[in-house]
């Protein structure tokens, strides 16, 4: 596996990989890799000849008082994991390489960026869209893979890729969970043992809400019960629990189309997100 830190070297290396009409899959990450990230690499290997994985903690998607400074960074372990997973290139730019002096461009995606995570974290998706667009232009992949745990991010990237004619197949990979149901997240390392146990209230509340919706409960009733259950389970606060159309992310009042239950809640100093697919009977 090649470890590359400069765009010029990346372009040369990717061109060599494409020799003979070979295909490239991109797996963008912020490091602190876990089995969920490696599932993206495995899915990329199934769909393309070579996988390029990026590790870049993107400052533009962190707001004031968020966890940019303490976000886990463990490059040595991450690089070893990518190599073991069969990546061809680990793309490891620093902030200056990604955003050179005098960099002033930002990409904004309308619609779904103003709700849920967009409302809770203003400017977050501008930072996501900008860095992902740069990664697409740097690597020029045939496909790019994103985890469904960040479902709204996946929807935003799909919209941007379509609107800007990137010609890249955007693939969503199902959320990987621990055996007890907690979605894998790089931020799980922040949790104490007790908080880790309490965090199970989040996926459980979503499962219970999905069951209630399938029984005919209104979204208002099911979501209110889920929010209460999350707090009663040990979370300090709930940013949102919401039901949205799985494709458009339009809010739903009843389970009338394939949908997504999405939630964000805070426990101690950690903010966790999760989501669950819900299909009408």
Domains of the chain: 2-173 (3.40.50.620), 186-276 (3.30.1300.10)
Cβ burial, residue 233 (10 Å; 0-12/13-18/19+): middle
The one catalytic residue in 34, 37, 50, 124 is 37
Instruction: Flag whether pLDDT at 79 surpasses 90.
Output: yes
pLDDT band at 22 (very low <50, low <70, confident <90, very high): very high
Strand 143-147 versus strand 169-173 pairing type: parallel
For 190-215, write each residue's pLDDT tens digit: 999 999 999 999 999 999 999 999 99
Task: Tally Cβ neighbours within 10 Å of residue 163.
Answer: 12
What would the mean pLDDT of 79-91 be, rounded to a whole number?
98
Instruction: Flag whether pLDDT at 49 surpasses 90.
Output: yes
For residue 186, CA distances in Å to 81, 149, 239, 262, 265 come to: 14, 12, 19, 18, 16
What would the mean pLDDT of 209-235 be, rounded to a whole number?
97
Cβ burial, residue 69 (10 Å; 0-12/13-18/19+): exposed
The whole-number pLDDT of residue 61 equals 95
What tokens were used for 109?
């995606």
- 50 catalytic residue (yes or no): no
- Listed residue (57, 62, 78, 151) closest to 112, CA to CA: 151
- Listed residue (179, 2, 182, 187) closest to 83, CA to CA: 2
Instruction: Flag whether pLDDT at 235 surpasses 90.
Output: yes
Percent of the chain with pLDDT strictly greater than 90: 94
Element (H, E) at 261: strand 259-267
Instruction: Flag whether pLDDT at 15 surpasses 90.
Output: yes
Q: Name the 3-class secondary structure at 148.
A: helix
- Listed residue (206, 148, 208, 199) closest to 178, CA to CA: 199
Q: Average pLDDT, whole number, for the chain?
A: 96
The whole-number pLDDT of residue 259 equals 97
For 101-160, write each residue's pLDDT tens digit: 999 999 999 888 999 999 999 999 999 999 999 999 999 999 999 999 999 999 999 999
Backbone angles phi, psi at 264, to 5 degrees: -140, 135
Instruction: Name the residue with tokens 């870049």.
Output: 56
Q: Determine the straight-line distance between the first and last CA of the chain, rounded to whole angstroms.
A: 47
Cα 191 from Cα 236, distance rounded (Å): 13
Strand 169-173 versus strand 237-245 pairing type: unpaired
Q: Which residues neighbour 225 within 8 Å (Cβ) at sequence distance 6 or greater?
A: 205, 208, 209, 212
pLDDT band at 281 (very low <50, low <70, confident <90, very high): confident
């Amino acid at each position: 596996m090649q470890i590359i830190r400069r765009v010029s070297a990346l372009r040369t290396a990717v061109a060599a990989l494409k020799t003979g009409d070979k295909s490239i899959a991109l797996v963008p990450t912020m490091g602190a890799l876990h089995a969920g990230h490696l599932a993206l690499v495995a899915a990329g290997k199934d769909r393309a000849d070579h996988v390029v994985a990026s590790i870049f903690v993107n400052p533009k998607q962190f707001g004031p008082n968020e966890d940019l400074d303490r976000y886990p960074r463990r490059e040595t372990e991450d690089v070893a994991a990518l190599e073991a997973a069969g990546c061809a290139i680990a793309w490891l730019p620093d902030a200056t390489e990604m955003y050179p002096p005098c960099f002033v461009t930002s990409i904004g995606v309308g619609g779904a960026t103003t709700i849920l995570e967009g409302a809770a974290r203003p400017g977050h998706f501008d930072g996501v869209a900008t860095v992902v667009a740069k990664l697409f232009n740097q690597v020029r992949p045939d496909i790019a893979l994103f985890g469904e745990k960040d479902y709204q991010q996946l929807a935003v990237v799909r919209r941007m890729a379509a609107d800007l004619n990137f010609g890249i197949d955007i693939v969503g990979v199902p959320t990987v969970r621990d055996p007890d149901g907690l979605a894998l997240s790089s931020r799980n390392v922040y949790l104490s043992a007790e908080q880790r146990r309490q965090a199970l209230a989040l996926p459980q509340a979503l499962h219970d809400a999905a069951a209630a919706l399938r029984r005919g409960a209104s979204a208002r009733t099911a979501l209110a019960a889920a929010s209460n259950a999350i707090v009663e389970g040990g979370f300090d606060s709930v940013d949102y629990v919401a039901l949205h159309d799985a494709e458009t992310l339009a809010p739903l009042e009843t389970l009338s189309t394939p949908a997504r239950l999405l939630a964000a809640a805070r426990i101690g100093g950690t903010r966790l997100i999760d989501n669950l697919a819900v299909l009408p009977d």
